[in-house]
Structure 1
Amino acid sequence: MSNKAYLNQAIVSHLIEMKAEEKPDREILVFENGDNAADVLTYRSLYENSNKIARLLLESGLEKGDTYAVFMRNHAEFAYCMLAGPVIGVVMVPIDPRSRGSRLRFLLSHAKAKAVFVSGELLPQLEEVLNQVPGVKNVFVVWRPEQDLPVSDAYPTVNETLGKDNWEPVDQQIMEVRHPMQIIYTSGTTGDPKGVMIRNNRFGMFNIVTKLVWKYKPSDVLYTGLSLTHGNAQAVTLFPAIGSGIKAVFSSRFTKSRIWDICRNYGCTSFSLLGGMMAGIFNEPVKENDGDNPVKTVISAGTPAAIWQDFESRFQVKILEWYGAVEGGFAYKPPNVGPVGSFGKPIPGMMQFKVVDDDDREVAAGQPGELICRMMKGDTKVDYLDNAQASEEKTRGGWLRTGDIVSKDEKGWFFFKHRKGSELRRAGDFIQPDHIERVIGEHPDVSEVCVYGVPAASGAPGESDLVAALAPFDNAVIDPGVIFDKCRQDLEPNFVPTYLQLVDVIPKTISEKALDRVLKEQFSPEAENVYTQS
């Protein structure tokens, strides 16, 4: 390793090599493992271990432009496997660890993955579909000590590769910032997910947003329990930490019950989550020490307006709200600036937003319409893998079509309403599910709530009957009668759910959005787990 003049800090693998020489022992990433010892990653270990994985990929026959999948929760090995790709120009496909069956098969097949890095606890899910994905030639398993699993020798292990004291280092082979770095798949809430090509220059964009929006200080310690397979964890936590030399702490999965203890233990000053998670945290029983924590700023996407101010007050934090999608589009609302409930404004001079009707005519302030946006400099493009038609339609007329229905007030603040085609209306009222979800979530037996609509039994066009899907807190038994009583007491009559659907867990996308599509498929008024008002 040497400080070669050709290294470009706008490419993440180049920057890590440079930092491994300048600040080899700087602790950057910490993967906490509950009661087990944490994995602490320095610039040196990031460089050396990702380079070992790059060598392994080369020796396995992967070449520039080939794809490989990383299928595991947030572990140190995830970071090593992710950061190996840019070294040699192979393209990493992060796969949500909850994927299985037809979805997992689709992702591996569609991405044409030639290799898969998988952690031991997810190996059975991979083996269920492996013989149906003939393109996968290599499987490498990570065996984590805290998982206490019987180690199989059916596949080569990542542990063996990382344990080598000597290996033939790989020189940086990619100098082009437009070379593909990842393929991140959309949630696929309405159909098969689309693979979005993410290029090396996205790392530079992350660094710009860090300086202009997140505004982390050198003394900050970041935290997230969001999966690194999701763009949020990469944009708000992982890449800002690597690029700025700021420590970041990761949990293997989101934990609403331990989040404050983790932040206290590691001195975390900021954490990132999604709006639905905030409701889960807020629904936890109130504790005397809720406000006694080191967190100053919560960076959230989709904070429910119904709990926004109470969340800040209870936990003594400030919320930085933002909006974005993997395809593009970005806005933010700094703490204490602008109206509660807004997701903010675009960065001045970088991006233009408009709210339009179905004929692309801009609507008046306060009126709902689809959000479309475009870059102020350069082309507005989306590159869906093997789907040129969808790519062109997404940016028709030079504007990114977000599919989100929003409104804008007279001062230019934007407010999210709903996804296009998913609005709820009941007896003429447009229903905001977050208010109902907050009221029901206040009950101590309820852990999570998702309110959605089904076609009204009355047959009224465009009208919905309301369903509240509830998951219990720990092993609590939810009494539907008690929940209906609470709703009648605390909600306007038109907002009281028609049905309660009791489930073990609320199914979610990788971005932690409730999958009401799945709940709708499981719903029937006659089902044993569905209750109506008596």
Structure 2
Amino acid sequence: MTDVRKLGTDSAHDPQLLIKQLIHTPVVNAPDQEIVYRDLHRYSYRELYGRICRLANVLVSLGVKAGDTVAVMDWDSNRYLECFFAVPMIGAVLHTINVRLSPEQILYTIDHAEDDVLLVNGEFLPILEQIRGRIDTVRQYILLNDEPTVPETHLDFTGEYEALLAAADATFDFPDFDENSRATTFYTTGTTGMPKGVFFSHRQLVLHTLGVIATLGTSVSQGRFHREDVYMPITPMFHVHAWGLPYVATTMGVKQVYPGRYMPDHLLELIAREKVTFSHCVPTILHMLLKSPYSAKVDLSQWKVIIGGASMSKALCLDALKRGIDLFTGYGMSETCPILTFSQLLPEMIADGPEAQAEIRCKTGMPLALVDLRIVDAEMNDVPRDGKSSGEIVVRTPWLTQGYLKDHRTSEKLWEGGWLHTCDVANIDAKGYVKITDRTKDVIKIGGEWVSSLELEDILAHHPAVSEVAVIGLPDERWGERPLALVVVKPDIKEKVTEKTLQHHVHEYADKGMISKQVVLLKVRFVEMIDKTSVGKVSKVTLREKYLPKQA
């Protein structure tokens, strides 16, 4: 067999797809473009690159080397953007910690990822204080602080972020290495048990960035992301790299605005002041923004928004369209880097009325460039493209995680048969639009965050009054879903148990950090029996049909 490499010139450069390549062009072509963090920082791409170099020098001086893991706990900030680049560019792995997890879950992810250095916003110090004596791997802590004073803590900090950067050199010679090196790790709570580590390589992140640019940038008008846009994420940067859009925005050299903590009026004020034109968020956030009285004072007619993380209701879409917002769905999952599809309109649909447009915008969408997406039956046969026949979404694309960190068994299940199994049930129509109709996982998505129904069932089952329990997701206009517990109470104490009794029981577990605090949205319904299948298993399908409101 001919060695293909010998066909090239011996002295020719053989480039690897590395994250550092994403920032080369904007630094050269848009050096004066702005990066904005709240009302605290405003600087150029030229300065951004200098700060990335300074951070790299700081980390190397602390002993961080290729393969080590650097973790971050922060709100959406310019610091986070700098970490998105500096950490993987020195060959280390960036662990974006989900600050919405319980303290016990955060402890697990820190130890499981084997974090060496942890950068933490002062607002999250109370979380670390709860688990401080049990963190085994972290050698050094760096404080991220927006306040004039240093918060009280028992943690021993190496230094404060801005002070460390100010003292560091603004140049760094970033090395070349294998493009398949791990660049990022984060943890998904989409299944039972402790969170699972998902990881991505430099090659995968670069190709995902280019795939998103190719799809968003080539649209004629609707759902288009271009160089004149102003970008602001409203999806946490710890969540699948904020859907990868900060890498996309930086590569394109657009103005970027980072809002810090999400507060509706603050977000709206930034949209107005900085003239934000492109964002992405879960339905819960958009619902809160549109319901805020302050939104009436803000012109949103130039705003384009990708909705993901949970299904978008037609009512929410129509409300947004009335305000002139170009709203459309994006779909993916933690394991897919994440974007697989966008529900952009075809050119002939642009003139359609709001109702017809909403029907398309709320669908799951069409696959991006380089995404091989199939909807298959149990035998892996493709279902008809008739908009009715359902099957599971399975995918192949260059940016899918190759497995779960230190979990070979579950990784093999994810990739059974050589296709990544999403566990999402969908149909596809003749034009190629996918529409998810159900999910096979027993999980509930509250405000874009997964909560395991099985874990919640286990907690409720520990209450002495509970005989049987099953938890399903109840559709909710604001939160996307909220947990509904169907409870069979023991006959002898039936009169002594109320909904508040069981809610208080669950809240105690949340207060101890044993389950996400999102469970405070729990609703309880007392029933005579829990429907089961012929083999005695709880039938969630039957329970949903029986207790959930019928869709119009």
TM-score in same-fold range (> 0.5): yes
Amino acid at match of 1:161: L
Q: What is the aligned counterpart of 2:341 among 331, 337, 344?
A: 331
2:247 aligned residue:
239
* 1:395 maps to which of 415, 421, 438: 415
Alignment partner, residue 484 of structure 2: 453
Q: Does 1:269 align with 2:300?
A: no
2:304–2:326 CA contact under 8 A, matched in 1: yes
- Partner residue of 1:210? 213
Whole-angstrom CA distance in 2 between matches of 1:151 and 1:167: 29
**For residues 173 and 142 of structure 1, do their structure 2 counterparts lie closer, same or farther at Cα, with a shift above 3 Å needed?**
same
The residue type equivalent to 1:299 in the other structure is I
1:307 partner letter: A
Alignment RMSD, CA only?
Answer: 3.8
2:58 equivalent in structure 1: 56
AA partner of residue 19 (structure 2): V
Higher mean C-alpha displacement, 383-392 vs 106-115: 383-392
Task: Give yes or no for contact 1:16–1:46 (8 Å, CA) kept in 2.
Answer: no
**Which of 296, 301, 307 in structure 1 is aligned with 2:303?**
296
* SS in structure 1 of the partner of residue 320 of structure 2: helix
Give the match's secondary structure for 2:66: coil
SS of the residue corresponding to residue 397 of structure 1 reads: helix
CA displacement at 1:156 relative to structure 2: 2.0
Give SS of 1:13's match. helix
Q: Contact 2:487–2:526 (CA<8 Å) still a contact in 1?
A: no
Q: Calculate percent identity across the aligned residue pairs.
A: 20
1:291-320: CA deviation from partner (whole Å, max 9, x where unpaired): x23533211114522324422333211212
Aligned residue in 1 for 2:456: none
Contact 1:271-1:295 at 8 Å conserved across structures: no
Choose from 402, 405, 410 the match for 2:425. 405
Give the Cα–Cα distance (whole angstroms) in 2 for the partners of residues 449 and 402 of structure 1.
Answer: 19
Q: Per-residue displacement from partner, 1:176-201 (whole Å, max 9, x unpaired)?
A: 32221111221345322211111112
Residue 232 of structure 2: which of 202, 223, 245 is its match?
223
Distance of 1:399 and 1:212 partners within structure 2:
23
- 1:314 matched to 2:335? The reply is no
Give the equivalent residue in structure 2 for 1:372. Answer: 394
The residue number in structure 1 matching 2:377 is 356
1:91 aligns with 2:93: yes
Q: Which amino acid aligns with 1:206?
A: T
Aligned length: 450
Q: Secondary structure at the match of 2:318?
A: helix
- How far 1:361 moved relative to its partner? 4.5
Q: How far apart are the structure 1 equivalents of 2:144 and 2:213? A: 32
DSSP-derived class of the 1:40 partner: strand
1:458–1:110 CA distance, 2 compared to 1 (3 A):
closer
Match of 2:119 among 117, 120, 125: 117
Which residue among 32, 36, 40 is the counterpart of 1:30? 36
Shift of 1:109: 0.4
Match of 1:416 among 423, 436, 439: 436
Q: Distance in 2 between matches of 1:524 and 1:130?
A: 39
Structure 1: 5+ residue stretches without partners: 425-430, 442-447, 460-467, 470-498, 508-513, 527-534
**Which secondary structure state, in structure 1, belongs to the residue aligned with residue 264 of structure 2?**
coil
Task: Tell which has more relative contact order, 1 or 2 (C-alpha 8 A, sep 6+).
Answer: 2
Inter-CA distance 458–416: structure 2 relative to 1 (3 Å threshold): farther
SS at match of 1:389: helix
- Does the CA-based 8 Å contact 2:264-2:289 persist in structure 1? yes
**Which residue does 2:537 correspond to in 1?**
none
Q: Distance in 1 between matches of 2:201 and 2:400?
A: 14
CA contact (8 A) 1:86 1:181 kept: yes
- Structure 2 Cα separation of the partners of residues 175 and 244 of structure 1: 24
Structure 1 residues 224, 211: CA separation in 2 closer, same or farther (over 3 Å shift)?
same
**Contact 2:129/2:154 (8 A) holds in 1:** no
- Could you tell me which of 381, 385, 391 is aligned with 2:405? 385
Given the two structures, how large is their TM-score scaled by the length of structure 1? 0.74
Q: Distance between the aligned counterparts of 2:279 and 2:480, measured in 1?
A: 23
Does the 8 Å contact 1:29/1:41 carry over to 2? yes
The structure richer in helix per residue is 2
Amino acid in structure 2 at the alignment position of 1:78 = Y
SS of 2:82's equivalent?
helix
Number of the residue aligned with 1:134: 136
CA distance in 1, matches of 2:98, 2:124: 11
Contact 1:450-1:516 at 8 Å conserved across structures: no
Aligned match of 1:473: none
- In 2: Cα distance, 1:239 partner to 1:449 partner: 27
* Closer, same or farther: CA 388–248 of 1 in aligned 2, 3 Å: same
**DSSP-derived class of the 1:185 partner:** strand
**Structure 2 Cα separation of the partners of residues 308 and 355 of structure 1:** 30
1:394-431 Cα offsets, whole Å, 9 max, x none, are: 1111111002122333443222233314499xxxxxx9
SS in 2 for 1:136: coil
Partner of 1:428: none
What is the DSSP-based 3-state SS (H/G/I as helix, E as strand, rest coil) of the residue aligned with 1:26? coil
- String of CA shifts for 1:23-43, please: whole Å, max 9, x gaps: 5742342111xxxx3312422
Gaps of 5+ in 2: 1-11, 218-223, 351-356, 445-471, 491-498, 511-515, 528-552
Distance 1:155 1:230, change over 3 A: same
SS class of match (1:239): helix
